[in-house]
Chain A
Amino acid sequence: MVRSVIDVSGLPTYAFGSRVTPWWGTLSFCLLEGTGFALGIAGYLYLAVTNTHWTKDAVHLNLVWSALFTIVLVVSALPNFLIRRAAMRESLRSVRVLLLVMSAVGLVLVGLRVMEFSALPVRWSDNAYGSFVWLLLGLHGVHVLTDVADTLVLTVLMFTRHGTGKRFSDAEDNAFYWYFVVLSWLPLYAVLYWLPRL
């Protein structure tokens, strides 16, 4: 005999935060990418400690562009917070406006990152220090770029007929990932720009 003991027909078809599967997927990706960042930093520190050339090679990096980048990035946490809130309230208008803001901020950040690269005093091929600077900056840059691209697509999506229901959950998830992009930058910034100056 088959006996129905629970009825799920009344359950919602989407929700927010840790209730849905994409949130856990994003969290898992943050874990594995975070591990990648941590190992990259560990490799940098390993060479800084063991390599005798390092002090000579580790030229100080330009502080201007990186400071701008960092400030804009940290401040972007605010509209990001608001997006999450608006998405969870399913307020289409606010989400649209805020997504436009986040897209603009994202594009500015990409531009700043490009300036950061062009202001680097070492090339990746000069020495291992240079290689690491380019690697870490690039690795984080890829994350910025990916999430900005994702934000742009989402923005367009929210202005089409698809901007309903579950897409709010996507917007919330996208904002969640942006926090990772912000947080992962802080240790990188400290190591790349300030550690050699100590």
Chain B
Amino acid sequence: MSPAAEERHETRDTDLGGEELRARLSKTWGTGRGLIGALSTVDHKIIGIRYAMTAFAFLLAGGIMAIIMRLQLARPDSHLVDAELYNQLFTMHGTTMMFLFGVPVGEAFAVYLVPLMVGTRNIAFPRLNAFSYYVYLFGGLMLWGGFALSIRPDVGWFSYVPLASLDFTPGKGPDYWAQMITFTEVAALAVSVEIVVTVLKQRAPGMTLDRIPLFVWTMLVHSFIIIFAMPAVMLASSMLIMDRLVGTQFFNADAGGDLLLWQHLFWFFGHPEVYIIFLPGTAFVSAIVATFSRRPIFGYLPMVLSLIAIGFLSFGLWVHHMFVTGLPEVGAAFFTASSMAIAIPNGVQIFCWIATLWDGKPVLKTPLIFVLGFFFIFVAGGLSGVMLASVPIDTQVHDTYFVVAHFHYVLIGGTLFPLVAAVYYWFPKVTGRLMDERVGKWQFALAFIGFNTAFFPMHLLGLHGMPRRVYTYPAEMGWGGLNLLASAGALLFFASFLLMLWNMVVSARSGAFAGDNPWDAETLEWAASSPPQPQNFDRIPYITSRSPLWDQGDDKAVVGGLKVDERELVVTSITEARPDIREESPAPSIWPFLAAFATAVAFIGSIYTPWAITWGSPVVAIVLVAWFWPKTIEENV
């Protein structure tokens, strides 16, 4: 090595300062140009944004399915769509919302925010992170591509066998469904592992366990739930597809298999799934409530403990399937039991949020307004859950629109309202510009009124006996009026999202400049610039309190001694976050994209011939070797 290069390699962040340090670091951590550069990036922020945009696209697609269903149901005896298409619509809607939107959108925020909040420069295993995104993208495209080519699953979002077995459903729809599940679960599992390791090992020095932001705690519990829940559905969907493609007999009662096996495996995942979708929402709420109350969340320790309790209890719910044997009850009891049994830790969380608002000086900006909307709707959903759980009502209304109303209150109240809040809250960090507040408030009015108009009447329809999953109903039933109302509400609700989209586009171009910390928030992501530099922080912060940005004065304690021209980050000990290693973070690489592509081809091929796996595996293996093989000698030291 020439002396100059030698010196370059040895430059430390303590040797430089200001603009030069920033420029050098951002060159080291940057993403290449052009298509290859874009596909090779390992920057968690870029991947996080892609995750979010893709999840939003699927939200829109799933929403359009919902709107078509509501248009069909607006009038009795309507013929806009027939029974077959209606089945496909609710299947695609449910599947898209649960797997392609609900789970990934939580991952998106975790991938973008967790590394910033713990004060590190990239997520752990950044190439795996890139891989997971492409796998998710291909899984989603496959399901929707199949839909466009009329390969359409129509057996509901939980794809019950025997309905989904070959004898009943000979087309390829359920195969696409099952492979899509596998894809998205692989992605979710990969991200969970990354988050766990990032939180445990890459926290900024000084960020002891009791200084971890609640958002990050929530995402940690969320990741553990995924790690223990998702293998069940991967196993189940693999068994389903093997039954259909190579003639295994897992679910075939005539050959010693059992239908209930599917149910048990699916719901072992299905119950935690509600919390997998719901927990990121609570993470947003914790961050937003603290910021806009101008005080830390009341009851940090009870909050963390109830999060952990939720993690465990979300699995406990599955047990009730050992007692419930009839198929219909399972569906009806699902969302109810999920919202009931964890009432205590959920109650603790809600109590702590309200106490925080009570004690603070709440500032009613759009993010907080949406959080208040969340409280209202979620509690209403909880109440209808209690009603569902009481037996006499239950026997009357299970598998009616009462259930549809109930779970949309829980899901939309629990996820979409906090999500919109999160978009308004972190948009300035991501783009550097604030979203328009006035439009935000109009959006809230539209969303709140639209949502309740759409879903409240469904409770009444359920009480009047309208079953779910019917494509139409005769005029004599007298359900027309309420259905028309519900459909009008759905349109309003949908429109509120279009308004948000418009606000995002306009604000990204011409919104007010945000600065680093527009809301005067407490956590580390607001110490980075808006949008953050590729390296996130020019100097790794040293943490001495739970609310670093509120407690530090003008005097910023930082860590020194990382190399400037190599991707180095600080690995710390688990509990105390004492600095331990300067670990090299992997550089950009095209191989994760190619690996995801090869995997996708093999999996899709396997729907048509099992040999695709045989021929695909060596290709995937070769690509993986290329991925992991060190490219330079410096990578070894």
A residues apposed to B, CB below 8 Å = 1-15, 19-21, 24-25, 28-29, 31-33, 35-36, 39-40, 43, 46-47, 50-51, 53-54, 57, 124-132, 134-135, 149, 153, 157, 161-162, 164-167
**Residue in chain B with minimal CB distance to A163:** B636
Is the beta-carbon distance between B258 and A29 smaller than 8 angstroms?
no
B264 within 8 A of partner (CB): yes
Task: Quote the shortest CB–CB distance from A83 to chain B (angstroms).
Answer: 18
CA of A141 to CA of B598, assembled, Å: 21
B200 within 8 A of partner (CB): yes
Is the beta-carbon distance between A131 and B242 smaller than 8 angstroms?
yes
Give every chain B residue within 8 A of A50 (Cβ-Cβ): 258, 260
CA of A29 to CA of B555, assembled, Å: 41
CA of A57 to CA of B249, assembled, Å: 12
- Classify the interface of chain B: helix, strand, loop or mixed: mixed
Contact of A162 among B560, B570, B636 (CB under 8 A): B636
Task: Quote the shortest CB–CB distance from B24 to chain A (angstroms).
Answer: 16
**Residue in chain B with minimal CB distance to A134:** B248
CA of A33 to CA of B234, assembled, Å: 11
Is the beta-carbon distance between B268 and A39 smaller than 8 angstroms?
yes
Give every chain B residue within 8 A of A127 (Cβ-Cβ): 249, 255-257
CA of A11 to CA of B568, assembled, Å: 11
Is the beta-carbon distance between B235 and A14 smaller than 8 angstroms?
no
Is the beta-carbon distance between A131 and B250 smaller than 8 angstroms?
yes
Query: Given A28-B197, A39-B268, A47-B257, does the pair A6, B125 have CB atoms closer than 8 Å?
Result: no
Query: Given A6-B579, A13-B637, A24-B201, does the pair A132, B542 have CB atoms closer than 8 Å?
Result: no
**Residue in chain A with minimal CB distance to B568:** A13
Task: Quote the shortest CB–CB distance from B34 to chain A (angstroms).
Answer: 29
Task: Quote the shortest CB–CB distance from A14 to chain B (angstroms).
Answer: 7
B252 within 8 A of partner (CB): yes
Task: Quote the shortest CB–CB distance from A177 to chain B (angstroms).
Answer: 14
Is the beta-carbon distance between A131 and B257 smaller than 8 angstroms?
yes
CA of A1 to CA of B542, assembled, Å: 13
Give every chain B residue within 8 A of A1 (Cβ-Cβ): 554-556
Query: Given A3-B556, A21-B201, A36-B234, does the pair A10, B256 have CB atoms closer than 8 Å?
Result: no
Query: Given A124-B247, A127-B255, A131-B257, does the pair A5, B542 have CB atoms closer than 8 Å?
Result: yes
CA of A33 to CA of B231, assembled, Å: 7
Contact of B571 among A6, A19, A29, A57 (CB under 8 A): A19
B53 within 8 A of partner (CB): no
Q: Which B196-243 residues sit within 8 Å CB-CB of chain A?
A: 196-197, 200-202, 205, 227-228, 230-232, 234-235, 239, 242-243
B506 within 8 A of partner (CB): no
Query: Given A6-B542, A29-B193, A39-B235, does the pair A15, B557 have CB atoms closer than 8 Å?
Result: no
B633 within 8 A of partner (CB): yes
Is the beta-carbon distance between A153 and B628 smaller than 8 angstroms?
yes
Contact of B248 among A13, A131, A165 (CB under 8 A): A131
CA of A164 to CA of B561, assembled, Å: 24
Contact of B227 among A31, A39, A46 (CB under 8 A): A31
Is the beta-carbon distance between B200 and A24 smaller than 8 angstroms?
yes
12 A-B interface contacts by CB (under 8 A): A3-B558, A7-B561, A8-B582, A11-B579, A13-B583, A21-B571, A25-B125, A43-B250, A46-B264, A128-B248, A131-B257, A135-B248
Contact of B256 among A2, A128, A134, A161 (CB under 8 A): A128
Q: Which 6 A-B residue pairings sit nearest by Cβ, starting from the closest?
A: A9-B561, A4-B560, A128-B257, A131-B248, A128-B256, A125-B247
B359 within 8 A of partner (CB): no
B635 within 8 A of partner (CB): yes
Is the beta-carbon distance between B256 and A15 smaller than 8 angstroms?
no
Is the beta-carbon distance between B625 and A14 smaller than 8 angstroms?
no
Is the beta-carbon distance between A28 and B227 smaller than 8 angstroms?
yes
- Classify the interface of chain A: helix, strand, loop or mixed: helix
Query: Given A9-B12, A10-B561, A125-B246, does the pair A47, B584 have CB atoms closer than 8 Å?
Result: no
Contact of A32 among B231, B249, B570 (CB under 8 A): B231
B residues apposed to A, CB below 8 Å = 12, 14, 17, 124-125, 189, 192-193, 196-197, 200-202, 205, 227-228, 230-232, 234-235, 239, 242-243, 246-250, 252, 255-258, 260-261, 264-265, 268, 539, 542, 554-562, 568, 570-571, 573, 579-584, 621, 625, 628-630, 633, 635-637
Is the beta-carbon distance between A35 and B562 smaller than 8 angstroms?
no
Task: Quote the shortest CB–CB distance from A180 to chain B (angstroms).
Answer: 14
**Residue in chain A with minimal CB distance to B269:** A39
Contact of B235 among A36, A46, A165 (CB under 8 A): A36
Give every chain A residue within 8 A of B247 (Cβ-Cβ): 124-125
CA of A143 to CA of B554, assembled, Å: 53
CA of A89 to CA of B561, assembled, Å: 27
Task: Quote the shortest CB–CB distance from B378 to chain A (angstroms).
Answer: 30
CA of A149 to CA of B264, assembled, Å: 34
Is the beta-carbon distance between A21 and B539 smaller than 8 angstroms?
no
Task: Quote the shortest CB–CB distance from A132 to chain B (angstroms).
Answer: 7
Is the beta-carbon distance between A128 and B562 smaller than 8 angstroms?
no
Is the beta-carbon distance between A8 and B258 smaller than 8 angstroms?
no
Is the beta-carbon distance between B201 and A8 smaller than 8 angstroms?
no
Is the beta-carbon distance between A129 and B581 smaller than 8 angstroms?
no
Best-surrounded residue of A13, A36, A40 (most CB of chain B within 10 A): A13
CA of A124 to CA of B255, assembled, Å: 11
**Residue in chain B with minimal CB distance to A54:** B256
CA of A50 to CA of B202, assembled, Å: 47
**Residue in chain A with minimal CB distance to B632:** A162
Query: Given A35-B231, A125-B249, does the pair A11, B256 have CB atoms closer than 8 Å?
Result: no
Is the beta-carbon distance between A32 and B621 smaller than 8 angstroms?
no
Q: List 8 additional A-B contacts (Cβ < 8 Å) besides A8-B559, A8-B579, A128-B256.
A: A4-B14, A4-B539, A5-B542, A20-B581, A25-B125, A33-B231, A46-B258, A128-B255
Is the beta-carbon distance between B196 and A28 smaller than 8 angstroms?
yes
Give every chain B residue within 8 A of A19 (Cβ-Cβ): 571, 573, 580-581
Query: Given A2-B558, A28-B193, does the pair A162, B633 have CB atoms closer than 8 Å?
Result: yes
Give every chain A residue within 8 A of B573 (Cβ-Cβ): 19
